[in-house]
Amino acid sequence: MNQVDRRSFLADSIRTVGTVALAGAAGVLVGRTGSAEPMVWQLDPDKCIACTNCATKCVLDVSAVKCINCFDMCGYCDICTGYFEMGYTALDTAAENQACPTGAIVRRFIEERSGQRFYEYTIDVPLCIGCGKCVKGCALMNGSLYMQVEHDRCLDCNECAIAIACPTQAFYRIPASQTEIMKRKAIAALRSRAQRTLQAAGGDAVGRREAAELLARLDQQQRWRAEQERLDTSAGRQAAVSNDQA
């Protein structure tokens, strides 16, 4: 019998056991609601290493994975390492100075305070190819740029080609009602904003409702992460047992 590489076996075991565990969780959902909620593919930005597979492995001509900017984390920097190429020659919008190969990041001046200039960086989604160059650059600063699957573009393949190629197994099937997987730091930043908004809202019903909706969205994210960590831990233990028995 051919010798099985221990590391490969462990990785395959974790993937298999994790799938079984997720199927079990889906079964619980069916039992509670009477019908299974649709599941969609999504990317965990805390596991993403911006490897470029999202741009090259998607079955679509232009990847369904796009960059987003969590503005609550963004520093609105003049010298944005997600926007500018490392070897830029000037702080302007010339193509040779931009890290993005398609010019999908829009740089807009906001204000100047105490001699510091601040800019807003937004994503021109149709131009984004999911290469992750901006994500890798932004990681050197605030890390506000990260990748997510856009579900109005995703074909929701039974087996996602990007997920199969992902070196960190950062892709998950999540409930369609959740749609996203936020960065942990984004959850913290958004929760801080929601709490400030709630305190400042006073009798403003609209403001209080918006803050409450955001807090509910963040609670959903934290519940998903807690459950996924439980499943990953369980899968790792079962894979280790299987590996020891092999």
Distances in whole angstroms, Cα of residue 163 to Cα of each of 48, 90, 96, 117, 172: 11, 38, 32, 40, 8
Q: Is the pLDDT of residue 135 over 90?
A: yes
Residue 148: CB atoms within 10 A of its CB come to: 21
Q: Is the pLDDT of residue 4 over 90?
A: no
Share of the chain above pLDDT 70, in %: 86
* Mean per-residue pLDDT of the chain: 87
Query: How much is the pLDDT for 31?
Result: 36
Burial class (CB in 10 A: 0-12, 13-18, 19+), 67: buried
Q: Where are the beta strands (DSSP E) in the chain?
A: 39-43, 65-69, 105-113, 116-123, 145-149, 171-175
Share of the chain above pLDDT 90, in %: 77
Query: How much is the pLDDT for 77?
Result: 96
Q: Is the pLDDT of residue 108 over 80?
A: yes
Q: Is the pLDDT of residue 42 over 90?
A: yes
Cα–Cα–Cα angle for 164, 170, 171, rounded to 5 degrees: 60
Q: Is the pLDDT of residue 187 over 50?
A: yes
Least confident among 1-5, 66-70, 197-201, 212-216: 1-5
- pLDDT, one tens digit per residue, over 8-19 is 433 443 333 333
Residue with tokens 């204000």: 111
Query: How much is the pLDDT for 35?
Result: 58
Amino acid, single-letter form, for residue 49: I
Cα–Cα–Cα angle for 127, 50, 70, rounded to 5 degrees: 65
Q: Is the pLDDT of residue 20 over 70?
A: no
Q: Return d(Cα 241, Cα 239) in angstroms, integer.
A: 5
Determine the angle formed by the axes of helices 205-245 and 184-201, rounding to 10 degrees: 160
pLDDT higher for 23 or 106? 106
Q: Is the pLDDT of residue 94 over 90?
A: yes
Going by pLDDT thresholds of 50, 70 and 90, the confidence category of residue 238 is confident
Q: Return d(Cα 222, Cα 184) in angstroms, integer.
A: 9
Mean pLDDT confidence for 32-43? 78
Residue with tokens 């994500």: 135
Q: Is the pLDDT of residue 25 over 80?
A: no
* Torsions phi, psi for 146 (to 5 deg): -150, 170
